Amino acid sequence: DAGITQSPRHKVTETGTPVTLRCHQTENHRYMYWYRQDPGHGLRLIHYSYGVKDTDKGEVSDGYSVSRSKTEDFLLTLESATSSQTSVYFCAISAWGENTGELFFGEGSRLTVL
Amino acid sequence: EDKVVQSPLSLVVHEGDTVTLNCSYEVTNFRSLLWYKQEKKAPTFLFMLTSSGIEKKSGRLSSILDKKELFSILNITATQTGDSAIYLCAVEVGSNYKLTFGKGTLLTVNP
């Protein structure tokens, strides 16, 4: 299994509070991604990173920010959580360019915003 | 706007049946198409397709891509209850290896 862990795995918070989700990898892969998964929408890309301090927006980036200060960690921050951000968040890593486009996913972080 | 459409959205079959899942796409700068299986937690990789007409096969699962008609199919023969899952299709578009996912097909295999 790919060495990718997410924390926390479950979180309940209130509207307006800040939340940070952490993704940690031990594979030294360059590319890291944050997706959210909601019923009826599938997986949607929030932000991604193609190297330390190199990040870009995905299709649903509003209300989210990210940081990657070292290869192994990719943080997703909700500055002021809203109920619409209740979702399951998946981090993924990839070794693109090494004969495969496979994404390895973390176990997911279930966030509930009350 | 890039689109990936999967059909059907859900499917119920009996063990031993053969199923075909569909994925069509409309994207700019297509690079590859990938299939994932999602059981209770994280999606897991099945296939990556880049060339038309070349079938990828793994056990009872196979997949093929048609770049002219912009679709792919995933076939599962002799289905088992363990095949019950959400099957996700994703298309790699542009540079920086971003994937756009379809909504998935929920397959239920009854004994």
Give the tens place of pLDDT for each residue, A68-98: 999 999 999 999 999 999 999 999 998 766 5
Q: Count of CB contacts below 8 A, A vs B?
A: 55
DSSP state of A86: -
Q: Which domain holds residue A93?
A: 4-113
Choose the weakest-confidence range: A62-76, A97-111, B18-32: A97-111
Q: Residue B24's pLDDT band (boundaries 50, 70, 90)?
A: very high
> What is the CATH superfamily name and number for domain B3-110?
Immunoglobulins (2.60.40.10)
B39: nearest CA partner in chain A = A107
Residue B4 tokens, joined: 């990936």
Residues of chain B found within 8 Å of residue A32, distances taken between Cβ atoms: none
How many domains is chain A partitioned into structurally?
Answer: 1
Spell out the SS3 assignment of B56-102: EEECCEEEEEECCCCEEEEEECCCCHHHCEEEEEEEEECCCCEEEEC
Angle at A85 between CA B91 and CA A54, to 5 degrees: 55
Of A42, A102, A105, the CB nearest to B104: A42
Percentage of residues in chain A having pLDDT higher than 70: 93
Residue A37 tokens, joined: 């998964």
Cβ contact, residue pair B96, A59, below 8 Å: no
| Partner B, chain A 48-87, Cβ-Cβ below 8 Å | 48, 50, 56, 58-59
Residue B66 tokens, joined: 């048609």
User: What is the pLDDT averaged over residues A51-80?
Assistant: 95
**Cα dihedral across residues A108, A30, A66, B25: positive or negative:** negative
Residues in chain A: 114
Of B42, B102, B103, the CB nearest to A90: B42
Q: What is the pLDDT of residue A57?
A: 93
Residue A66 tokens, joined: 């990210």
